[in-house]
Amino acid sequence: MSSDSLLSIANLLLPEVLVTYFDLKKHEVKGEELHFYFTELNTVPEGHSGIRLHSKGFFPEATVQDFPIRGKNVFLHIIRRRWVDRDTGTVVTRDWQLVAKGTRITSEFATFLKQIRQ
């Protein structure tokens, strides 16, 4: 399957923010689990375009669970980027709301689970 086909499928199945701001590095099927590995793109966060930022590495990988696909549990492995302001030395990051507070599942999945519980 070509990478364009894979990206088209990812656009339909995965959270939009991941497909827009992250690069899908690889995917794996491990038994009854699907694993998708993402790395944040090196694009300056909104509101910081006038600041001299330098990409300065990554945060440790975070793993969150998303909606099951075809009966398989889905795990998203996400590596977020950080930048350093060259003038002040402060660290700049995007504020992602990918994970529901107090859980290790995506916000969308948590909302879905809350709705079906009612």
- Is 78's pLDDT higher than 70? yes
Q: Where in the sequence is the domain holding 58, given as residue range(s)?
A: 3-117
Single pTM value for the model: 0.73
Smallest Cα–Cα separation from 73: which of 97, 96, 46, 106? 106
Radius of gyration (Cα) for the chain, nearest Å? Answer: 16
Whether 74 and 37 have beta carbons less than 8 Å apart is answered as no
**What total of structural domains would you count in the chain?**
1
Lowest mean pLDDT among 10-19, 61-70, 96-105: 96-105
pLDDT band of 30, cuts 50, 70, 90: very high
113 phi/psi in degrees, rounded to 5: -65, -40
Does residue 113 surpass a pLDDT of 60?
A: no
Q: How far apart are CA 50 and CA 87, in angstroms?
A: 12
